[in-house]
Amino acid sequence: MAFERRKRPESSESALQSLADEELMALVAKGQARAFETIYERHGGAAFSLAYRMCGSRSLAEDVAQEAFLSIWRSGGRYDRARGSVRTWVLGIVHNRAIDALRRTVVHERRRASDEGIEERFEARERTEVEAARREEASTIRGMLETLPDEQSRVIELAYFGGFTHSEIAEMLGAPIGTVKGRMRLGLEKLRGQLAPQGAMP
Amino acid sequence: MITGGNGDHARFGDDVAPWLLGALAAEEREAFERHLAACGRCREEVAALRPAVEALPLAAPPVAPPPELRDRIMRVVESEAQLLQASGESADRPERARRPERRRPRRWFVSLSPALAAAACAVVAAVGVGGYLIGQSGSEGGGGHVVAAKVSFPAASASVRTEGEQASLQLANMPAPPPGKVYEVWLKRNGQMPRATRALFVVRSGAVTIPGGVGDADQVLVTAEPRGGSLVPTSMPVIVANTA
């Protein structure tokens, strides 16, 4: 049946723009499509970038981002601000969806995607200030990762971006599982230490 | 349920970082999460390391999503928002108090992904053909609780009968569904998206069993869907019953 776009009694777009993410999520929980669209506008770029970094293919990244955002829409009421920012929540969902997608694919295909250093092949098209800020943020965090000993950043990247389990990583690197887990912990501790003084978290 | 106390810490303590990074296999993750619920030390470690993990996604080089992605997502969202509104004012009611949930990174959402939709639809279809109904009509014993439904066809009527865990939809004089379509029964809870049941029907009068009953749903909805059923409603409800 036909439905008319943008005719429902919802908050106006400019009013929505002025709301904080947390307030928008309360509207999303009530089924307000425009509030959801504003959330997408704010976080769709970071979400797609993460999905693309993990999947290494545009089409898979699009599928992952679509699944993630639809699940966000359908479970909007589950966002709990006590647990952190909306952005962190959104990216956590994208990450989980991407891991699920990666684990459905064959291991060596994944390895290629995560090893290739996709880096800047598809640069963001819009050079807005927001984009510029995101690029800077990305390179700051990448810089921090690069300061870790290779063996630590490697296991973190394989796990977080590659979607590999600790035992897959152990096999790939020819290292004992306990060693891999230990490197993950050391790497995260070190990263945490670098973040704290700069208050870099949103 | 809780099997791991602090005594297990030696066994699970190493899993904090892999768990945060999503690097545990499914069974390990479940075991760790059970332990986490009981182990204050692990929870502290999780809290200490979480900010590092939360910074990681921001390291992904920015890539602009294609505009079509937004269009695809918003098409679905708009149609679901429309359905949500059409199915009652419940969406505007204040949200019910939420139960505090333990943080479980991979369980934040329950809806089926579009990628799974095709597979699940196939299951729905198989169930439908296998005998859930497509035309199971007949009488059921009296008794139970009966709620009259709003029906968009003037000559038709419908009601939902619940008796204990059992529920059925009683129909009279429904028009046949549009060509190639079946009617599908949905359960909806206050403020949430309708949930597909396995009940598909084409009968015009009679009783249609709702497998599993209505549970805690506030509303029972019926929409016309492509044969085999949908996971997400694709048309406006033709029957709405408030069961709360």
The pLDDT of B41-49, averaged and rounded, is 94
Residue B47 has what pLDDT? 94
Better-scored residue on pLDDT, B228 or B26: B26
CA-nearest residue to A159 within chain B is: B23
pLDDT at residue B88 in the model: 55
Q: Which token pair is A71?
A: 């699940």
A-chain CB neighbours of B23 within 8 Å are 159-160, 164-166, 169, 184
Identify whether residues A29 and A87 lie together within a single domain: yes
A1 part of a folded domain = no
Read off the pLDDT of each residue in A68-97 and give the average, rounded to a whole number: 89
**Residue numbers of B between 67 and 86 with CB closer than 8 Å to A:** 69-70, 72-74, 76-82, 84-85
Both A80 and A150 in a single domain? no
Query: B1 pLDDT exceeds 70?
Result: no
Poorest-pLDDT segment among A114-123, A164-173, B26-35, B59-68: A114-123
Residue B244 has pLDDT above 60, yes or no: yes
- On chain A, the residues whose CB falls within 8 A of the CB of B21 are 156, 159-160, 184, 188
Query: What is the pLDDT, as a whole number, of residue B101?
Result: 38
A149 and A187 in a single domain? The answer is: yes
Nearest to B191 by CA among A25, A31, A73, A80: A31
Better-predicted residue by pLDDT, A160 or B135? A160
Residue-range domains of chain B with CATH: 6-59 (1.10.10), 115-242 (no CATH)
pLDDT confidence tier of residue A182, bands split at 50, 70 and 90: very high
Same domain, A18 and A99: yes
CA distance linking residue B68 with residue B64, whole number of Å:
11
Q: A122, A157, A181 — which closes off a domain?
A: A122
pLDDT at A106 over 70: no
Q: pLDDT per residue over A109-123, tens digit each?
A: 555 444 444 444 444
B190 touches A at CB < 8 Å: no
B194's CB contacts (< 8 A; 6+ apart) are: B83, B84, B87, B186, B187, B188, B219, B221, B232, B233
Taking one residue from A and the other from B, the number of pairs with CB-CB distance under 8 angstroms is 231
Within a domain: residue A108?
yes
Residue A60 belongs to some domain of the structure? yes
Does B91 contact A30 at a Cβ distance shorter than 8 Å? yes
Q: What is the mean pLDDT of chain B?
A: 75
Mean pLDDT of B149-170: 88
Structure tokens of A65? 């981002």
Confidence of residue B143 (pLDDT cuts 50, 70, 90): low
pLDDT tens digits for range A29-40: 888 999 999 999
Q: What is the pLDDT of residues A40-64, one digit of tens each?
A: 999 999 999 999 999 988 999 999 9
Say what the pLDDT of residue B123 is: 36
For position A43, what pLDDT does the model report?
95
B205 pLDDT higher than 60: yes
Closest residue in B to A36 (Cα–Cα): B77
Q: Which residues contact B112 (CB under 8 A, 6 or more apart)?
A: B120, B231
Of A122, A143, A160, which residue is a domain's last?
A: A122
Rounded (5°) CA angle B29-B34-B40: 110
Let me know whether A77 and A173 are in one domain: no
A136 vs A106 pLDDT, higher one: A136
- Are the C-beta atoms of residues B45 and B19 closer than 8 Å to each other? no
Sign, CA dihedral B150-B153-B154-B157, equals: negative
**Residue range B79-94: mean pLDDT, rounded:** 62
For residue B48, list chain A residues with Cβ-Cβ distance below 8 A.
192
CATH number of domain containing A105: 1.10.1740.10
User: Residue B201 gets which letter from DSSP?
Assistant: E
Residues A87 and A169 in one domain: no
Q: Are residues A19 and A118 in the same domain?
A: yes
Q: Find the length of chain A.
A: 202
- pLDDT average, residue stretch B72-93: 73
Chain A CB contacts of B52 below 8 Å: 188-189, 191-192, 195
- Assess if residue A64 is contained within a domain: yes
At A125-179, the pLDDT tens digits run 445 677 778 888 888 899 999 999 999 999 999 999 999 999 999 999 999 999 9
Mean pLDDT of chain A: 82
How many domains does chain A divide into?
A: 2
Both A54 and A113 in one domain: the answer is: yes
Residue ending a domain, among A122, A149, A171, is: A122
CA distance B144 to chain A (A): 32
Does the pLDDT of residue A83 top 70, yes or no?
Answer: yes
pTM of the model: 0.61
Q: What was the pLDDT predicted at A105? A: 72
Residue B235: pLDDT band by 50, 70, 90 thresholds?
Answer: confident
**CB atoms closer than 10 angstroms to residue B216:** 10
Whether A7 is covered by a domain: the verdict is: no
- Whether residue A123 and residue B74 make contact (CB cut-off 8 A), yes or no, is no
CATH number of the domain enclosing A156: 1.10.10.10
Do A96 and A154 reside in the same domain of the chain? Answer: no
Kindly state whether residue A66 falls inside one of the protein's structural domains: yes
What pLDDT is recorded for position A107? 52
pLDDT at B56: 95
At residue B191, the 3 state secondary structure works out as: coil
Do A82 and A151 share a domain, yes or no? no
First to last CA, chain A: 42
For A91, the closest of B57, B91, B103 (CB atoms) is B57
- Indicate whether A143 belongs to any domain: yes
Domain annotation covers residue A144:
yes
List CB contacts of B229: < 8 A, sequence separation 6 or more. B121, B124, B125, B128, B182, B184, B196, B198, B200
Residue in the block written with tokens 């359908």? A74
What pLDDT is attached to residue B44?
94
What is d(CA A25, CA A30) in angstroms, rounded to the nearest whole number? 9
For residue A72, give the chain B residue with the closest CA: B109
Q: Is the pLDDT of residue A23 over 70?
A: yes
Q: Which domain holds residue A23?
A: 13-122
What pLDDT does A67 receive?
Answer: 92
Q: Please report which confidence band the pLDDT of residue B211 belongs to, taking 50, 70 and 90 as the band edges.
A: confident
Same domain, A100 and A183: no
A98 & A144 share domain: no
